[in-house]
Amino acid sequence: MFSRLLGLMSSDMAIDLGTANTLVYVKGRGIVLSEPSVVAVTEVRGRKQVLAVGNEAKRMVGRTPGNITAIRPLRDGVIADFESAEEMIKHFIRKVHNRGSWFSPQIVICVPSGSTAVERRAIQESAESAGARKVFLIEEPMAAAIGTGLGVTEPSGSMVVDIGGGTTEVAVISLGGIVYARSARVGGDHMDDAILAYIRRNYNLLIGESSAERLKIELGAASMPLDGSPGPLYAVKGRDLVQGVPREVTVSQAQIAEALAEPVSQIVEAVQSVLENTPPELAGDIVEKGIVLSGGGALLTRLDDVLRQATGLPVIVAENPLSCVALGTGRALEEVKQLKGVLSSMY
């Protein structure tokens, strides 16, 4: 009875708990928060103490003194640091509610399709410890498909490729269920690592995670510029590994495309693997409808062209690739009766 009363006073919410960013959708209000999935902690008398979460914590990455650590609680789409994840979810719930801790919302959280029962339980328990009344889970590719406007409940095949920070989710969906899916542990973070390694190898220059991410955003491309030129240039600063002094170098889009060749080929391989395992009738639907790209990785220049050439199918980038999963998770929350089949609960 008391929990039902709290429910009436609460705003139910949907959370896209991503490796790189967390988006929160509140029932009836839409997406109200989008912040990096980062927590800054310090240790006081052997216990962790949270100093900052989200945007404030992201600004600290690579710039913290010895007594402060900037942690990303999720790795490859699943919780790597349970305590920090719980604090982060708690912080975002409070920020959205702005009413203190007496309100317990019903929450829908998306999870990678390849996550294990243990990983799913960790996400559910983190949300419950953060104050959720009831927690439902939805698989990321399903949420992405709903968010892009695909008719997931129709007897027709739809294919979605959601490229997030930690994972790439590829799935064929029909009649409100995932017919076949593959979760590849490659995403925006792996692209950042590939750029970081390339700059180190070719220039003997050590750059930070934030610099690698900026290079990806400014110059990131899935293939070389079509006109054969080096493409746009960008200056990046770091520490010279030979002389040990700060130095600046200028890199081109062609070089970044070369650096990203490995993660891009892994994404292509995941897409081809799913297509090979798609039933013939649904494959016919995909030939007609094409493949829909969502997630931050969908913004990578010429990735749609690379996938088009590799599969011979139409490839469409979703209208709001960064918020597709959050919008889909939110719609599942809004239309919980109609879309109940796509939600699951551990209890």
pLDDT tens-place string over residues 296-310: 999 999 999 999 999
Whole-number Å distance between alpha carbons of 56 and 142? 31
Cite the annotated binding site by residue number. 19-21, 165-167, 213-216, 296-299
Long-range contacts of 275-282 (CB under 8 A, 24+ apart): 275/159, 275/311, 277/180, 278/157, 278/159, 278/172, 278/179, 278/180, 279/157, 279/179, 281/157, 282/156, 282/157, 282/172, 282/174, 282/179
103 pLDDT band, cuts 50/70/90, is: low
3 pLDDT band, cuts 50/70/90, is: very low
pLDDT at residue 262 is higher than 90: yes
239 pLDDT band, cuts 50/70/90, is: very high
Radius of gyration of the chain (CA): 21
Is 175:279 a contact under the CB 8 Å cutoff? Answer: no
Closest-CA residue to 326 (of 314, 334, 315): 334
Give the other-Cβ count within 10 Å of 240's Cβ: 14
pLDDT at position 98:
65
Whole-number Å distance between alpha carbons of 143 and 16? 9
Q: What are 298's strand-pairing partners?
A: none
225 pLDDT band, cuts 50/70/90, is: confident
| 1-15, 67-81, 204-218, 298-312: least confident range | 1-15
346 pLDDT band, cuts 50/70/90, is: low
Closest-CA residue to 111 (of 296, 344, 268): 344
pLDDT at residue 44 is higher than 50: yes
How confident is the model over 49-57, as a mean pLDDT? 89
Give the residue carrying structure tokens 């889970």: 137
Same fold, 2-37+72-141+325-344 and 188-261: no
| 4-8, 93-97, 241-245: least confident range | 4-8
How confident is the model over 35-51, as a mean pLDDT? 85
pLDDT, the chain, mean? 88
Write down the pTM of the prediction.
0.88
Q: So what's the architecture of 143-186+264-322 in CATH? A: 2-Layer Sandwich (3.30)
Is 141:111 a contact under the CB 8 Å cutoff? Answer: no
| 136-140, 219-223, 226-230: least confident range | 226-230
pLDDT at residue 47 is higher than 70: yes
Amino acid (1-letter code) at residue 203: Y
Q: So what's the architecture of 2-37+72-141+325-344 in CATH? A: 2-Layer Sandwich (3.30)
Per-domain residue ranges for the chain?
A: 2-37+72-141+325-344, 143-186+264-322, 188-261
Q: So what's the architecture of 188-261 in CATH? A: Alpha-Beta Complex (3.90)
Cite the annotated binding site for ATP by residue number. 19-21, 165-167, 213-216, 296-299
**CA 272: distance to chain centroid?**
21
pLDDT at residue 10 is higher than 60: no
pLDDT at position 5:
43
273 pLDDT band, cuts 50/70/90, is: very high
Whole-number Å distance between alpha carbons of 23 and 13? 10
